[in-house]
A and B are shown apart, each in its own frame.
Chain A
Amino acid sequence: WLLNPLPMAVSSRGNAEALVALLVLATLYWVEAGSVGKAAVCYGLAVHMKIYPLTYALPIALRLRTRPRRGEGALDAGGDKMAKVTFMARLWHLFVKMLNRDVLLFGMVAGSVLAALTVAFYHLYGWEFLEHAYLYHLTRRDIRHNFSPYFYMLYLTAESKWSFALGLAAFLPQLLLLLVVSIAFYRDLAFSCFLHTTIFVTFNKVCTSQYFVWYLCLLPLVMPSIKMSWRRGVLLLFLWFIGQGLWLTPAYFLEFKGYNTFLFIWLAGLLFLSINSLIIVQIISHYQKEAQAAKKLKQQ
């Protein structure tokens, strides 16, 4: 990670992504190690620094809910019985049982840390802090070119009556995917968070290189679980860079030479989305940790 050129380049532009990555990793580490309190403190701090870790609340809550505890058998044994019940009943059972002691502790500690930090900084900087840290994201309308597939659509419809509906239409796939992925993979927290962030960034209305660091920092954690041939991995990486290159070229001509390359940028954005989706699908289909985890639980 220290020698990875991408975080080097991103961090040198004045973003403290490395700090947020550290806090996120610390949170995941403490959750896996069983120290809910410490994890919650790191999580609160991470959300204060950057809002995106807020999306990890669902996978973490689901994970905390299913950690085997003293005196209780592995909850997965209970899960097997559930297989006979309908899917909706299982879903309901999942969310209703979410509020166990660990989840409540996590929520309270993280919430308190975040609230305390917000109050402290409001004290130091006043209304300006609230505006720039949180409120700004609600009213921000940045329609300039970026990697997002939605960029041109939002730019062209910025002032039309469809603008709100289209914004919502752009938000729904992201939300649905995040929910499904959390429920499908919460047993492996690192993998779940990795998929979470990748999907969040790929389907977001604004996407810049800086956001890639958010999921790349989790890649070393999930790589051992992904049984993919070396060649396939390199090919996917190559495709990812090609996708970026094909976007950066017309973007350079637009911004620094003044040519009207909007259509090319838009098409390159769609291509980049497709490449990212292909990579995500490949990662999901080659994921093979469950076999080892199931073995461990049976041995306990």
Chain B
Amino acid sequence: CVALDVQAACRDTAVTQELLKEGFHRDLLVKVELGEDAGGCAVAARTRLPPGIYVDPYELATLQQHNLTKAVLSPDVIDLEAPEYLARDVLLLLFLEPDPRCSRCFRAAVPVHARYHRPAEGTEEAVVVLESPEVLLCCCHGRLSAECWEPAEVDTPCSSDSTGSCQWHSTKHSPACEESMLRVPVGLREHSSLVCALTLLTTGLCSGLILAAACKYGHF
């Protein structure tokens, strides 16, 4: 994605977001190319995950323990089993690592999982739309150009040194970006009657068979 309204002193920030793998368990890969040098600031991407997907907090904790990913979820209590219509949005703050490919590139990946969606009529899939992430910088020495960056409100503290001088900044010109889409298979409502009837019939038959055997061979 590229910032649309480009000012003379401000270079473009490019953000891309990709969903790797297939099925219900994916990897969300975020890549950022800053318009200018980060200058020792920590780079992060903030994205709002819709109720259709979630990050497993226990998996995240294990990854953080092994220093593979650093991210913060809010809220941090997530119901792993809830279907999409009973779940809430989650805000994901993902800290990016420098990408060896180019000097101002940063990237990070986090595993995400799709939830079960409502059964649908006429279509076999539900679509989960992921908005483009917001690029945030955490700077402790205030050397960012004020034309490109403005202070941002973020719940998570910027860094572990609580000297108080560290501040979050976001880009002044938010890039317009293509959203990522995740297709999730769903059950078909048209099957309801057939499924209910055949399920109850089969379970009735099977339980009848076992009942008959118990009555025949049982010692009452």
Chain A residues within 8 Å of B, Cβ to Cβ = 87, 90, 140-144, 149-150, 152-153, 155-160, 162, 166, 169-170, 173, 176-177, 180-181, 183-185, 187, 199, 203, 254-263, 266, 270, 273-274, 276-278, 280-281, 284-285, 287, 290
Closest partner residue, chain B, to A265 (CB atom): B187
**Which residues of the other chain, A, contact B191 by a CB distance below 8 angstroms?**
152, 156, 262-263
Q: How far is the CA of A185 from the CA of B202 in the complex (A)?
A: 25
Tell me how far the C-beta of B184 lies from the nearest C-beta in chain A, rounded to whole angstroms: 8
Q: How far is the CA of A276 from the CA of B81 in the complex (A)?
A: 27
Q: Which of B81, B85, B119, B207 contacts A155 (CB 8 A)?
A: B119
| CB–CB B209/A281 < 8 A | yes
Q: How far is the CA of A17 from the CA of B200 in the complex (A)?
A: 31
Q: A273-B206, A285-B217 are in contact. Are A258 and B211 (CB under 8 A)?
A: no
| CB–CB B218/A184 < 8 A | yes
| CB–CB A254/B214 < 8 A | no
Q: Does B196 contact A (CB under 8 A)?
A: yes
Q: A142-B81, A144-B116 are in contact. Are A266 and B195 (CB under 8 A)?
A: yes
**Which residues of the other chain, A, contact B204 by a CB distance below 8 angstroms?**
173
Q: Does B163 contact A (CB under 8 A)?
A: no
Q: Does B50 contact A (CB under 8 A)?
A: no
Closest partner residue, chain A, to B26 (CB atom): A258
**Which residues of the other chain, B, contact A266 by a CB distance below 8 angstroms?**
195, 199
| CB–CB A277/B192 < 8 A | no
Known: A153-B199, A156-B196, A277-B209. 10 other contacts (CB 8 A): A141-B81, A141-B86, A170-B203, A176-B207, A184-B219, A185-B214, A187-B219, A280-B213, A281-B209, A281-B213
Q: How far is the CA of A143 from the CA of B191 in the complex (A)?
A: 16
Give me the 8 closest cross-chain CB pairs, A-B, nearest first: A184-B218, A277-B206, A260-B185, A173-B207, A256-B23, A258-B23, A260-B124, A284-B213
Q: A155-B119, A183-B218, A255-B25 are in contact. Are A199 and B185 (CB under 8 A)?
A: no
Q: Does B215 contact A (CB under 8 A)?
A: yes
Q: How far is the CA of A254 from the CA of B214 in the complex (A)?
A: 38
| CB–CB B200/A169 < 8 A | yes
Q: Which of A170, A184, A258, A262 contacts B215 (CB 8 A)?
A: A184
| CB–CB B196/A153 < 8 A | yes
**Which residues of the other chain, A, contact B217 by a CB distance below 8 angstroms?**
184, 284-285, 287
Q: How far is the CA of A284 from the CA of B206 in the complex (A)?
A: 14
What is the size, in residues, of chain B's interface with A at 8 Å between Cβ atoms? 43
Tell me how far the C-beta of A166 lies from the nearest C-beta in chain B, rounded to whole angstroms: 7
| CB–CB B209/A143 < 8 A | no
| CB–CB A280/B199 < 8 A | no
Interface residues of B in 147-195 (CB under 8 A from A): 183-189, 191-192, 195
Q: How far is the CA of A189 from the CA of B124 in the complex (A)?
A: 49
Tell me how far the C-beta of B188 lies from the nearest C-beta in chain A, rounded to whole angstroms: 7
| CB–CB B198/A270 < 8 A | yes
| CB–CB A259/B185 < 8 A | yes
Closest partner residue, chain A, to B186 (CB atom): A260
| CB–CB A153/B195 < 8 A | yes
Tell me how far the C-beta of B83 lies from the nearest C-beta in chain A, rounded to whole angstroms: 6
* Contact sample, A vs B, 30 pairs, CB 8 Å cutoff: A143-B116, A149-B199, A156-B119, A156-B191, A156-B196, A157-B196, A159-B85, A170-B203, A173-B203, A173-B204, A176-B211, A181-B210, A181-B214, A184-B220, A254-B23, A256-B25, A257-B23, A258-B24, A258-B185, A262-B185, A262-B188, A270-B198, A273-B203, A273-B206, A280-B210, A281-B209, A281-B213, A284-B218, A285-B217, A287-B217
Q: How far is the CA of A191 from the CA of B189 in the complex (A)?
A: 42
Tell me how far the C-beta of B95 lies from the nearest C-beta in chain A, rounded to whole angstroms: 28
Tell me how far the C-beta of A242 lies from the nearest C-beta in chain B, rounded to whole angstroms: 17
The CB with the most chain A CB atoms within 10 A, among B125, B184, B214, is that of B214
Tell me how far the C-beta of A253 lies from the nearest C-beta in chain B, rounded to whole angstroms: 8
